[in-house]
Amino acid sequence: MEEKTFVEDIDRSLYDFRNEDKDAYRIEEGLTKDIVEQISREKHDPEWMREFRLKSLEIYNKTPMVQWGPSIEGLNMDNIVTYVRPNTKMQGKWEDVPDDIKDTFERLGIPQAEQTSLAGVGAQYDSELVYHNVRKEVEEQGVVYTDMESALNGPYADMVKEHFMKLVPPTDHKFAALHGAVWSGGSFVYVPKGVKVAIPLQSYFRLNAKGAGQFEHTLIIVDEGADLHFIEGCSAPKYNVANLHAGCVELFIAKNAKLRYSTIENWSKNMYNLNTKRALVAEGGTIEWVSGSFGSHVSYLYPMSVLNGEGAHSEFTGVTFAGHGQNLDTGCKVVHNAPRTTSLVNTRSISKSGGISTFRSSVVVTNKAKQAKSSVSCQSLMLDNISRSDTIQAIDVRTADADIGHEAKIGRISDDAVFYLMSRGISEEEARAMIVSGFADNVSKELPLEYAVEMNNLIRLEMQGSIG
C-alpha cells in the first residue's frame, strides 16, 4: 500500500466520519435577541436564566473582539448556528439511543470505556446530552452527576444559581459573554463531603452539525475532603466551513478536596476552539489539570487556577500538537492568593508541517500569598523548518516572600537519536514518532490507559508521512 506523505491526506476516519443531519430542531444562523429568547424557551429556562442570557447578549454586543491571539477572522457569528437539538431525548439506557448517534459513540469507544473503567458517562451530541448514566454504587455515595438542564430545574437549582458563571462572568471576555447567552448542555457534578470517587466520571462532546457551535457548560463542586477524577473528551468531523466551540468549565474545590480534570481535545481542523476553564481552590485543596490539545484550526485555551485558601495546590500538565493549518494558542494561568500556596506547570508543545504552537503562562502572586511557590517548565519541539513554536511567560509577584521559577526550551529532534533507532531496524518515520511520543510521555502517563493510548495514536496519526 502506498504510504501517505502529507498531513492533509492522513486518514482521520476515526474522528472525521459524519452522520447525515437529522436534527429535530435547528435554530437559524446568527446571534440576535430573538434567537437567544428562542433558545431559552427551548431549554425551559427559569426566569433568572432567561434574564442572564439576555444580559450576556448585551455584554457580548458591547465587548470588542480579542486582538492579541491568533486570527479568528474566518469566524463569522452571522453564519454560526448556536443551537441544534438532535432527534432524541436524553436516554438512561444505551440501547435506547438512536442507532446513528449510538454508532457515532461506539466508533469513538465510549460504551467500552464506560463498561471497563468509568463510574458514569454523559454523551453530548451537538447541543444536547443524548445519554447519561451513573453507576449505582456511585449514586449510593451521594454523588450527583447529571446534565446541566436537569440540575437547573431540579433539586439542585439553588446550587446552580449560586455558582453559575461566577468564576467566569460574562464580562470576562467576548466569548464568555457569548457562552452566557447561548449555552446548552454540559454536566453538573456534586461530590459530598468526604466522598472519594474511586473511578472517573466522563463527559464526551461530539459536534456533528455543519456550521454550528457547541456551548456546553460544566459545573463541578467537590465538597470538603472529597476526591474526584473527571474526564472530558471532544471531537468533530471535518467540514469546509467554520465550526465553533465556546464551552465553559467552572470547578469549585473545597477545603482539603481534590479534583483531577483530564481533557483530550481532538476537534477537526475547521474548528475554532475558544473554551474557558477555571478552578477556585480553597484551603488545602488541590486541582490537577491534564490536557491534550490536538485538533482545531485555531485554539485559545488557558485553564486558570485561583488558589484562594492557605496551602492550596495546582498542577497543570499539558501537551499541544500543531500540524498543517493549525494555530494553537494554549497555556494556563495561576493566581496565588493565600499563604503557602503552590503550583507546578509542566508542558510540551509540538509543531510540524507549518503548524504554529504558542504557549502562554501567567503566574500572579498577590500580597496575601506569603511563602508561595511556583515552578513553570515549557518544552517545545519543532519537527521541520517551516513550523513555529513560541513561549510567552508572564510573572507578576506582589510579595518578596515567594519562590518562583520558570524555564523554557525549544529544540528539534536529534538526528543522532533518529540514526540510532534506524540502526536498530526501525524506519525513519517510526523513529521520529517514537521520539515525539516519548517527548509527550509526561502527559500520557497521567491519563487513564485508554486515553493515553488515544493520545499516542493521535501523535502517530499526525506523524504519519512526516518525512515526505
- pLDDT the model gives residue 298: 93
Predicted TM-score (pTM) of the model is 0.86
Q: How many CA atoms lie within 13 A of 308 on its CB side?
A: 14
Answer whether residue 70 shows pLDDT above 70.
yes
- 3-state SS, residue 384: coil
Burial of residue 346 (number of CB atoms within 10 Å: 0-12, 13-18, 19+): middle
- DSSP class of 41: H
pLDDT tens digits for 307-340? 999 999 999 998 888 988 999 999 999 999 999 9
The chain-wide mean pLDDT, for the chain, equals 82
Answer whether residue 445 shows pLDDT above 50.
yes
126 Cα distance to chain centroid: 16
377 close to 410: Cβ distance less than 8 angstroms: no
Percent of the chain scored above 70 by pLDDT? Answer: 76
pLDDT tens digits for 85-115? 665 555 556 566 666 555 655 655 555 655 5
Q: β-strands 372-382, 402-412: how paired?
A: parallel
Q: β-strands 327-336, 304-307: how paired?
A: parallel
pLDDT tens digits for 6-65? 334 334 444 544 444 454 567 888 899 999 999 999 889 999 999 999 999 999 999 998
Measured distance CA(66)–CA(360) in Å, rounded: 15
Of 146-160, 202-216, 387-401, 454-468, which gets the smallest average pLDDT? 454-468
pLDDT tens digits for 253-299? 999 999 999 887 777 788 899 999 999 999 999 999 998 887 789 99
* Of 303, 206, 295, 296, nearest in space to 250 by CA: 303
The set of residues, in sequence order, having a beta carbon less than 8 Å from that of 3 and lying 6+ positions away, is: 464, 465, 468
238 — pLDDT class (breaks 50, 70, 90): low
pLDDT tens digits for 328-385? 999 999 999 999 999 999 998 888 889 999 999 999 999 999 999 999 988 888 888 8
- 3-state SS, residue 294: coil
- 3-state SS, residue 145: strand
- pLDDT the model gives residue 170: 97
Measured distance CA(307)–CA(210) in Å, rounded: 39
* Phi/psi-derived region of residue 176, left when phi > 0, alpha when psi is between -120 and 50, beta in every other case: alpha
5 — pLDDT class (breaks 50, 70, 90): very low
Element containing residue 333 per DSSP (H, E): strand 327-336
- DSSP class of 297: S
- pLDDT the model gives residue 102: 58
